[in-house]
């Protein structure tokens, strides 16, 4: 369960998120929609616990205040690539994904879906933007988090890999993961999400079942 109540975020007295409320159950995948500047990235960042909210509550399966436990359950895939450029792909998996055993089931599954097996020993700095983004996704999903927050995760990723990521997200949904996705790719959202939150200038305009027409 993920429940957000009366969430407010201010920067320099400017209200960026104004009284956002929603409730997600296990297996829910929610799209966050809105124009640029509507508060989508701010919401994803707050949910991932990477910034402190001004006021309101975020309840992760009744773990409101135990941030050490919550952090272990969260996978955060930011819009900006967050990897060590001068290290190899496998070294980034060791650091961010906490992988020590190359036979780990989740590791094998993730690198196969994201087609990373042949570049594990390549430096991040030598990879294309789309490939870096695949690694960025992989190092978070390999930890098998319960809550996954994704901000524009498929920018620069080719169509065939996007289809595999759709399948991966739907498999995570079937496992009961709670996933929140911000993306401008409407096909991606329609293919993965069953819930929709629409923001307009920081205010909540809609929350409910996914409805393509509301976008």
What secondary structure does DSSP assign to 61-79, as a single string? TT-SS-HHHHHHHEEEE-S
Whole-number pLDDT of residue 149: 98
Please, which contacts does 89-94 make with residues 24 or more away whose CB atoms are closer than 8 Å?
A: 89/116, 89/119, 89/120, 89/121, 89/122, 89/124, 89/127, 89/135, 90/120, 90/121, 92/124, 92/135, 92/139, 93/120, 93/135, 93/138, 93/139, 93/142
* Mean pLDDT in residue range 31-37: 95
* Mean pLDDT in residue range 157-169: 94
Whole-number pLDDT of residue 118: 97
Domains of the chain: residue spans and CATH: 27-48+72-208 (3.40.50.300)
Tokens of 27: 């297996």
Sheet containing 74-77: order of strands: 55-60, 2-11, 14-24, 203-209, 195-200, 29-33, 178-182, 147-151, 74-77
Whole-number pLDDT of residue 64: 64
Whole-number pLDDT of residue 135: 97
> Taking the model in full, what pTM does it have?
0.96
Whole-number pLDDT of residue 66: 74
pLDDT greater than 80 at residue 1 = yes
pLDDT in tens, 126-162: 999 999 999 999 999 999 999 999 999 999 999 999 9
pLDDT in tens, 47-103: 999 999 999 999 998 776 677 889 899 999 999 999 999 999 999 999 999 988 888
């Amino acid at each position: 369960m993920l429940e957000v109540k009366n969430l407010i975020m201010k920067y320099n007295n400017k209200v960026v998120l104004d009284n956002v409320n929603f409730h997600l159950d296990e297996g829910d995948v929610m799209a966050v929609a809105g124009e640029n500047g509507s508060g989508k990235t701010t919401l994803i960042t707050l949910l991932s616990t990477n910034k402190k909210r001004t006021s309101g509550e975020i309840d992760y399966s009744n773990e409101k205040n135990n941030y050490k436990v919550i952090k272990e359950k969260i996978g955060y895939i930011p819009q900006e690539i967050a990897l060590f450029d001068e290290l190899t792909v496998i070294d980034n998996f060791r650091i961010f994904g906490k992988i020590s055993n190359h036979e780990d089931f989740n590791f094998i599954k993730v690198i196969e879906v994201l087609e990373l097996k042949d570049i594990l020993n390549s430096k991040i700095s030598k990879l294309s933007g789309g490939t870096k983004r695949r690694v960025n996704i992989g190092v978070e999903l390999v930890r098998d988090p319960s809550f996954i927050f994704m901000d524009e995760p498929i920018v620069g990723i080719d169509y065939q890999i996007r289809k595999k990521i759709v399948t991966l997200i739907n498999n995570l949904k079937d496992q009961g993961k709670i996933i929140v996705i911000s993306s401008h790719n409407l096909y991606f959202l329609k293919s993965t999400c069953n819930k929709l939150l629409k923001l307009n200038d920081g205010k909540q305009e809609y929350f409910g079942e996914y409805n393509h027409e509301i976008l």
